[in-house]
Structure 1
Amino acid sequence: MGKLAVVCAVGAGLLLSGCQAVNTTNGGAVGVERKQYMFSMLSSQQVDQMYAQSYQQTVSEASTKGALDKTSANAKRLQAIANRLIAQAPAFRPDASQWNWEVNLIKSDELNANCGPGGKIIFYSGIIDQLKLSDDEIAAIMGHEIAHALREHGRESMSKAYGIEIAKQGAGALLGLGQDSLGLADTVVNYSLTLPNSRSNENEADLIGLELAARAGYNPNAAITLWQKMARESQDAPPEFMSTHPASSSRIAALQAAIPKVMPLYQQAPKTQ
């Protein structure tokens, strides 16, 4: 039994709500089947709502500063790529077709991108311009980020944190947190955006993202050139994106091994939509 499963077992004895073993997505051609442990008192809807508030604040601040880009060629590229990837998301979880997806480009030298809970996508222009990303490489990044949202890795990390808190302090502490000012909006941003994902979560996002891009008609080999670019970029001063998504030879090797599984999907997919 894994560490989180043990924590959940302790928590279940302390709370009637407890922990549930779920699989948030279908396995797909890449075969992501790992069971995830989520606290039922922390619902997908709660996490989505909390993140949406933070997302809107970020977008509003960018708009106020004149940094929100809705009209450039890159903004149009980003929206077109997102439309194709989003259309494939229900292959992994049908309810994703009902998400309130949003896509925004912020003018900034920052090399970063994210898709938060509920389908809230942000790209910073620096990652597109400085890495000279092709559409296929943008799709590789976006597919990876969408996969984190589909798998609810942010909610999973929060569940783990709450489970540890239960084990340390008991049910009363968690119940108190559930009723008082939790600072949950800050917590969900911290766990779903700023903190590194586990190796297993990163691997899942790589694999599902690879398949999403292939299904949408983007060359899966672009994931290799993307991470090669990331590795070169991180040699001197690692960009923000690399603090949460470290490139490595093992990551590239795992992607190369998975490409044959998704290549038939790419070959069958329409290349323009």
Structure 2
Amino acid sequence: MTNWLTRTGCVLMLSAAVAGCVNTTATGAVGASRKQLMLLSPQEVEQASAQSYVQEVGKARSAGKLNTDAALTRRVRAVSQRLIAQVPVFRADARNWKWEVNVTQSDELNAYAMAGGKIMVYSGIVNRLRLSDDEMAAIIGHEISHALREHSRESMSQAYAQQMGLGIVGQLAGLSQGSMELAAIAADVALTKPNSRTMESEADVIGLELMARAGYNPNAAVTLWQKMMQAGAGSGPSFLSTHPSGPARIDELQRLIPRLMPLYDAARKAR
């Protein structure tokens, strides 16, 4: 009986995995294309992420750290809006997301974007690294790309698959398995869990195209990561703990930049 339940569980998990393999974006000029395992619906993850984001914004507001630097907040939002205007290249539906962009006062070198376009930039990453608008576009474009590719949903689906694998026999036997705390998982994924190198590479290249199309110099992505590497050699910034960096990353960016310079030049002429 146990063997039958296990076999049945494996069949159900395999069926769910096959059904859940999707490509969440168009390929763009950079050719981003990869099938992703998605066992949770976009609506579930967006709702959980929105709930988590509201909690994070509330914490920053209660601590007197939300958007306290008006000039910096204007800069971050202005750069973000130019990037957001380009998202239909990869996802037409993202044009209608309820985008939110906020800045929290913190010395951490960090930023994140949750599912559905919920962006938070830490003041430390801009001020401590003395980022230009182009370099800021590289950071924000990278995070927007995580949202476009639904990396949170993919990571949460992987966590769900693990939980389902552990509990499938019990479920089939009629035993109760506790419901997942999706909002907590959404926060954990966005704030503490490292993305895979594949996800990071996707966010790098899609973000590079977004910034080029928005009229920000793609070469700034290289200087940004050089600054991040230098900062990491001393203080070990939290951004690097969840965003692997290194010479290979910079090499990949430099390889793609010539392909994207015509988009950048066209955007500059159109402005």
- 1:130 aligned residue (111, 128, 131): 128
Query: What displacement does 1:263 show?
Result: 1.0
- 1:13 aligned residue (5, 8, 11): 11
1:111 matched to which residue of 2?
A: 109
SS in structure 2 opposite 1:269? helix
Distance in 1 between residues matched to 2:173 and 2:225, nearest whole Å: 43
Give TM-score, length-normalised by structure 2: 0.90
What runs of 5+ residues in structure 2 fail to find an aligned partner? 1-6
Query: What displacement does 1:237 show?
Result: 2.2
SS in structure 2 opposite 1:238? coil
Query: What displacement does 1:79 show?
Result: 0.8
- 1:48 aligned residue (37, 46, 49): 46
2:33 matched to which residue of 1?
A: 33
Distance in 1 between residues matched to 2:211 and 2:251, nearest whole Å: 18
When residues 163 and 272 of structure 1 are mapped into structure 2, their CA distance, relative to the original with a 3 A threshold, is same
Say if 1:117 and 1:192, in contact at 8 Å, map to a contact too.
no
1:162-201 correspondence to structure 2 within 5 Å: 162-170=160-168, 172-173=170-171, 180-201=178-199
AA partner of residue 216 (structure 2): Y
Query: What displacement does 1:179 show?
Result: 7.7
Distance in 1 between residues matched to 2:167 and 2:64, nearest whole Å: 46
AA partner of residue 263 (structure 1): M
Distance in 2 between residues matched to 1:156 and 1:176, nearest whole Å: 28
AA partner of residue 37 (structure 2): Y
SS in structure 2 opposite 1:234? helix
When residues 11 and 23 of structure 1 are mapped into structure 2, their CA distance, relative to the original with a 3 A threshold, is farther
Query: What displacement does 1:61 show?
Result: 1.8
Distance in 2 between residues matched to 1:90 and 1:182, nearest whole Å: 32
1:92 matched to which residue of 2?
A: 90
When residues 26 and 10 of structure 1 are mapped into structure 2, their CA distance, relative to the original with a 3 A threshold, is farther
Distance in 1 between residues matched to 2:27 and 2:254, nearest whole Å: 19
2:204 matched to which residue of 1?
A: 206
Please report the RMSD computed on the Cα atoms of aligned residues, expressed in angstroms: 2.5
Distance in 2 between residues matched to 1:237 and 1:60, nearest whole Å: 28
Say if 2:67 and 2:73, in contact at 8 Å, map to a contact too.
yes
Distance in 1 between residues matched to 2:167 and 2:249, nearest whole Å: 37
Alpha-carbon displacement from aligned partner over 1:91-146 (angstroms, at most 9, x marks no partner): 10100011000000111112111111110000111111000000000000000000
Larger gyration radius, structure 1 or structure 2:
2
1:74 matched to which residue of 2?
A: 72
Range 55-64 or range 203-212, more displaced: 55-64
Say if 2:66 and 2:103, in contact at 8 Å, map to a contact too.
yes
1:255 matched to which residue of 2?
A: 253
Query: What displacement does 1:65 show?
Result: 2.0
What runs of 5+ residues in structure 1 fail to find an aligned partner? 1-8
1:24 matched to which residue of 2?
A: 24
When residues 128 and 11 of structure 1 are mapped into structure 2, their CA distance, relative to the original with a 3 A threshold, is farther
Query: What displacement does 1:180 show?
Result: 4.4
Say if 2:200 and 2:244, in contact at 8 Å, map to a contact too.
no
SS in structure 1 opposite 2:218? coil
When residues 38 and 171 of structure 1 are mapped into structure 2, their CA distance, relative to the original with a 3 A threshold, is farther
SS in structure 2 opposite 1:219? coil
Distance in 2 between residues matched to 1:176 and 1:223, nearest whole Å: 52
Distance in 2 between residues matched to 1:242 and 1:174, nearest whole Å: 42
Distance in 1 between residues matched to 2:138 and 2:8, nearest whole Å: 39
Say if 1:214 and 1:266, in contact at 8 Å, map to a contact too.
yes
* Fraction of identical pairs, as percent: 55
Give TM-score, length-normalised by structure 1: 0.89
AA partner of residue 66 (structure 1): G
When residues 177 and 130 of structure 1 are mapped into structure 2, their CA distance, relative to the original with a 3 A threshold, is farther
2:58 matched to which residue of 1?
A: 60
AA partner of residue 94 (structure 1): A
Aligned length: 263
